Amino acid sequence: MSESDSISRVALKKITPDVSAAMGSLHTAAVSAAQDAKVEPEILELLRIRASQLNGCAFCLDMHTKDARAQGETEQRIHALNAWRETPFFTERERAALALAEAVTLVHDGRVPDSVYAAAAEVFDENQLAALIWAATVINAYNRIAIATRMVPGAYQPARK
């Protein structure tokens, strides 16, 4: 028996529905703040994918790569996201958002460096920066929930527009 098969995990939505609902409300508020601040939805999906890559969250990677594709994201950019610094495929705004998301995700490595924050502040206004920080915080929380409860990737399908 592999470790991943060794123990059944708690069903958080069932056991703690109020906390799960609060997390959903936080997500909704963060999405709304990003929309109000006019942060491009493509940037938010790239941010979610990159944080999920760093955290090793298969469930969220499955979900957000599907959502990105549904929004028109290219396979080339999705596949290159793990090496975004080495490719010409991302805009200055996307690069700033990705660097900020990485710093928030890897905050244990030495906080969010002033240089990363300053680069993001060059291309995003305060409302957009706040929205990006919230988006990074929310996806990191969801990554931890999915990993801790071993949510199984594969079944998620994006909503049809």
Q: Encode pLDDT of 80-105 as tens digits.
A: 999 999 999 999 999 999 999 999 99
In a domain, residue 158? The reply is: no
> Which pLDDT band, with edges at 50, 70 and 90, does 1 fall under?
very low
pLDDT of residue 3: 54
Domain count, the chain: 1
Q: Is 23's pLDDT higher than 90?
A: yes
Q: Are 52 and 61 in contact (CB under 8 A)?
A: yes
Check residue 71 and report its DSSP letter: T
In a domain, residue 58? The reply is: yes
Domain membership of residue 124 as a residue range? 14-148
pLDDT of residue 4: 53
Q: Give the amino acid at 63.
A: M
Question: Which pTM value belongs to this model?
Answer: 0.91
In a domain, residue 52? The reply is: yes
In a domain, residue 117? The reply is: yes
